[in-house]
Structures are given as C-alpha cells and as structure tokens.
Amino acid sequence: MEERLLAWFVEHGRELPWRRTHDPYAILVSEVMLQQTQVARVVPRYLAWLERWATVEALASAPVAEVIREWQGLGYNRRAVNLHRAAQRIAADGWPDDLTALPGVGRYTADAVARFALDRPVLPQDTNVLRVLDRTQGEFGPASAHALMDLGATICLARIPRCAECPLADDCPARGSRYEPLRKQSRFEGSFRQRRARALTLVAERPRPHDELDSEAVEALENDGLVAVNSGLVSLPE
C-alpha cells in the first residue's frame, strides 16, 4: 500500500515552496502559517515573509509591531506573536531538542519540523494524515508524510472521498463510504473574531484612543500580546 502511495505522489504531489527547503526556520514559518489557514492563501504570504525575514535571527530582531502588521490577513494573529517569540528563543539558545518547548508549537508542528527539516524518523499527523490512516488502516512510515498529506487534501476528502481516483482504494476497508457533514467553523461575519480583527486592523494603522475602539476586543487583544494600552491609547506592542 505504501509503495502505491509513493508512486502516486511522484505524479500527483503538490508543488509547494516550503517543500524545496530543509531550513528548519522556513519550515516552521510555513507550518505556523498553515495552522487554520488554507494553502492557497499561505503561499504568497510565506514567500513575502521569507523575503523580508530570511533567517530566524532576522525575525527575532524585528519589532513585534512589524511582525503583527506583516501577518495581517492570515487570521489568528496570536500565531504571529508566538512565532516571533519562538524566533527570539531560538536566536538566543538554539533549536531545542523538544520543539514543543517553543511558543505556539504543538505536537504536530514539532513533528513536521523534525521530519521535513531535521530528517528525524517521525510521521507528522495532521487532520488529513489521520483521516487516511483511519480509513485505510494501512501502515506508513515517515517517508510517506507528504504523500499522506496530499492524498488527504485532494482525494481522501472529509465528507465525500474520491475513491475512484485513490491509489489505495483496492485495499481500503472504507472505500465507497459516505460521511456525515462536518461541523463547520462558526461564521466569521458578526463574530467576536471579526470584532478582534477589526480592532487590530485599526490599531495597526495608527494608535487609537481606547474609547474609540471595541473595549472587549481590545482587552482580548491585550491579553494575547497583540496590543498595548497606555494612558488610554491603544497601540501595537513595541
């Protein structure tokens, strides 16, 4: 089964810029950006980010306000602050053996950096990989990581998998199965997430008086380290 998957990947694998490097910093950037953000949106932002801050040291020395501004539009802005903090820790102390010690780095992200940058024998298991493993009940090694991700993202889809196009279909116990609709993420329009995003966009343009902004959103942003409030003025952190 794994051999067929790898043969399929040679022909159908996605061409993504972070797959052309083994730089742990570049791969960390890509993995943090890809958390809850679609690949198509990430690609141009990833390239622009590395053009601006090509090394972990460059990002570590950048003002956090500029990092937050550069992240605008990717959503879940707390990721930008965590990435900046992680870069500062790496620049000061080097890469830790346990990458989950870095701010904002969970088990999957740590395994992805370990596999794709450091060539460690681990299989990163994101949502797509877990879905393929569960449905096929197959055994796959670390070399299949990218192939499993792409199969899950393009063929073994969450609700209606494209079994007729799947290289593993002949041996898949779940072939032809239909699945219940997934619970969709809550609407952004009218949500508190939108209120936070609107407030942060305004503050990123220029400091604003607190009483001109959504106070609840400002409080949440301040708790996440995304804004600073001083003498009634809300600004990006220095």
Residue partners of 157: CB distance under 8 A and separation at least 6: none
Which structure tokens are listed for 104?
Answer: 């904002």
Q: How far is CA 54 from CA 18, 57, 59, 64, 132, in A?
A: 13, 8, 8, 16, 34
Q: Is 135 helix (H, G, I), strand (E, B) or coil?
A: helix
Q: Which of 178, 155, 157 is nearest to 168 (CA)?
A: 155
Q: Active-site residue among 31, 66, 212, 238? A: 31
Which structure tokens are listed for 170?
Answer: 């002949």
The structure tokens 């969709």 sit at: 184
**238 is a catalytic site residue:** no
Q: Which of 126, 119, 85, 125 is nearest to 102 (CA)?
A: 85
Burial 71-92 (b: 16+ CB within 10 A, else e): beebebbbbbbbbbbbbbbbbe
Catalytic residues: 31
